[in-house]
């Protein structure tokens, strides 16, 4: 049987754990808006990275930014263009989950150092992932 002190400690620990931010519990960051699309970028830290990568299958488009060595990149400027969409945002983490209408898109990603890459993608019923390696 637990004493009052042990019960109080357990209650305090449970309360602290339940009040942790969602990111600390492996959730994806809140969705943002950029024109006609909604996105969430993150993946900093093991829990958030795991949550973001496992959620990729639930979004029409996922982007991954990394160095050729495999080290993840953040603060990448992303420009998404199509006939219906023209949006730009800064990816604050190496993984971006993007909700956007079906169609053909040109994605241009530019690192903080000015290195730029473009890729074209057809978004539809099947989730797509683009890797940008610098």
Residue 36 domain-assigned? yes
Q: For the chain, what percent of residues have pLDDT higher than 70? A: 81
pLDDT number for residue 11: 39
Question: By three-state DSSP, how is residue 34 classified?
Answer: strand
Residue 94 domain-assigned? yes
Instruction: Render pLDDT for 34-63 as a digit per residue (tens, 0 to 9).
Output: 988 899 999 989 999 999 999 999 999 999
Domain count, the chain: 1
Judge whether 98 and 62 are in contact, CB under 8 Å: yes
Domain carrying residue 93: 25-133
Residue 5 domain-assigned? no
pLDDT number for residue 26: 65
Residue 29 domain-assigned? yes
Residue 114 domain-assigned? yes
pLDDT number for residue 14: 38
pLDDT number for residue 3: 53
Q: For the chain, what percent of residues have pLDDT higher than 90? A: 72
Residue 6 domain-assigned? no
Ranges under pLDDT 50 in the chain: 2, 4-25
Residue 2 domain-assigned? no
Query: What CATH number is associated with residue 111?
Result: 2.60.40.10
Strands (E), the chain: 32-34, 37-42, 61-66, 76-81, 86-91, 95-99, 103-110, 116-123, 128-133
Residue 82 domain-assigned? yes
């Amino acid at each position: 049987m637990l004493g009052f002190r042990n019960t109080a400690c357990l209650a305090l620990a449970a309360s602290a754990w339940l009040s942790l931010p969602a990111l600390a519990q492996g959730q994806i960051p809140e969705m943002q808006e950029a024109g006609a699309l909604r996105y969430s970028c993150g993946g900093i830290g093991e829990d958030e990275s795991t949550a973001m990568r496992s959620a990729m299958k639930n979004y029409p488009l996922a982007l991954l930014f990394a160095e050729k060595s495999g080290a993840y990149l953040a603060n990448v400027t992303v420009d998404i263009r199509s006939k219906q969409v023209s949006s730009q945002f800064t990816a604050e983490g190496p993984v971006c989950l993007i909700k956007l209408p079906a169609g053909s898109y040109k994605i241009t990603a530019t690192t903080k150092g000015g290195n730029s890459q473009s890729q074209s993608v057809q978004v539809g019923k099947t989730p797509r992932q683009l890797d940008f390696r610098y």
